[in-house]
Amino acid sequence: MRVRYARALCAIAILIMVNVLPGVLGASTTPKLELSLIPQSPFNYFYPESDTTITLCIRNLGDTAAEVEVRLIRLPPNVILNGRDGIGLPLRVTVRENSVFFHSLALIALENARDGDICFEMVGDNNNVLDRRSLSMRRLSPRLTPKELISKVMERGFSGDVSMFCIPKYRRYWHPELNEMGEAIAGYVWLIVTPQGNFLIDDNIGEILEENLILPWQVEAVEYGEARVWCGSGFENMRVPTVRIMGDASFDFNRFELYYARFEDSPVWIVRQLFYWAYGGGIEEIPDTERIELWISAENGEKLFTISDYHHHAFRYDPVEAYTILAYFHCPLAEDLPQSWFDFLLAEYENVYPASKIQYDHMGFLPVHPLIRATREYEPLIRRNLLGVGIISVLYIFPKIRRRSGKKDQEAMRIIASKK
């Protein structure tokens, strides 16, 4: 009985040693920390009345974990910064040794937003500043003037009685430096609507891209929203199709954005609906930001698919009429998907956006399945405890092997003795 107690105490001591000792031994080393901001030039722009992802990247090149705090120092004029996943600012985080930590924020550019710097500083123990970084954000404005557009309309034999809508070209939500096909081309298209028809002009080169498209407000949908669109002399509300939202409606406000893109070499409209939890909501995960996109053919009005956030990932799914926002942790799910987050991860993970080599987006950067990511995050802990279990196994198994070996030796000696 005493031997059993002794082994149990040894097993506990081994587990404590493999978990505590590495931290004690590593406490004297110095972490090497760097802060960087994304997106960098030439992708450091924002469209007015739009949401742009700003990502903090904290690199720990040292051999010990470090606790840091990242603080917002400055913002461009007339923009709002909203957090996500229940993490706001200042951001307090422990960055493991030899690892990179990403955290994204939503930069909301208001109608009168202007160029400016977004600045953060990273501090360690005793408020000593470890790093300070600034990111210059530029307001991207249309190039063509209403006068130039009227001239192009009249060149085609149309009257000057037209409506103009300046629509931003699509940019990915998690990767602001990439668009849906992997190469970002910043800018706008002008949707010119005349009594004789409509056509689309590229704001960068002034050429006509498409003619007689299905207009966004002509698309049939179960729900509509209002996106703020530049019309040559100011912003106006444009009626855009969207999906019905069910479930947790505790968000403080939501917004709609309209984009233009090409999908499989055909023109498409993208309606992005964004949800912000900034102040209330009655749950712990505040602040937070989520989005749902509806992709629509601009040729025939067909709904192609939806894209939604799901816990740092972007999912493409077949078009549905409604999405449910799960309570307690905000994740929009298509109405015909399993409502269990675990079932959803296992069942639908292959059906993701975009149609590119990057299948999975963790904070927009790491192509890792969430189950594998969770394993990697705890890899040092798992490795140490596996080592401890291995040592404990030897502690229990080796005596049994010795006893069995001893019994075999004794049996062999008896056999030899009997033969004599």
In the predicted model, residues of the chain with pLDDT beneath 70 are 1-15, 18-31, 160, 178-184, 280-285, 311-313, 338-381, 388, 392-420
Whether 279 and 406 share a structural domain: no
CATH code, domain carrying 132 = 2.60.40.10
Q: What type of residue is 171?
A: R
Distance CA 241, CA 214 (A): 12
Domain that holds residue 18: 2-27+378-419
Whether 275 and 337 share a structural domain: yes
Whether 71 and 204 share a structural domain: no
- In three-state secondary structure terms, 124 is coil
Whether 307 and 336 share a structural domain: yes
Last residue in a domain, options 99, 114, 139: 139
Last residue in a domain, options 139, 172, 191: 139
For residue 125, what pLDDT is reported? 85
- Please give the tally of structural domains in the chain: 3
Q: Are 302 and 221 in contact (CB under 8 A)?
A: no
Whether 19 and 114 share a structural domain: no
pLDDT tens digits for range 42-71? 889 999 999 999 989 899 998 888 999 999
Last residue in a domain, options 99, 124, 139: 139
- Report pTM: 0.78
Structure tokens at 404: 């069995």
Whether 272 and 164 share a structural domain: yes
Task: Please name the residues in contact with 420: beta carbons below 8 A apart, sequence gap of 6 or more.
Answer: none
Whether 396 and 300 share a structural domain: no
CA quadruple 239, 236, 273, 215: dihedral, nearest 10: 40
Whether 95 and 162 share a structural domain: no
For residue 283, what pLDDT is reported? 55
For residue 129, what pLDDT is reported? 93
Whether 349 and 407 share a structural domain: no
**Structural element, H or E, at residue 411:** helix 379-419
For residue 419, what pLDDT is reported? 56
For residue 302, what pLDDT is reported? 96
Whether 113 and 223 share a structural domain: no
Whether 170 and 270 share a structural domain: yes
Whether 338 and 213 share a structural domain: yes
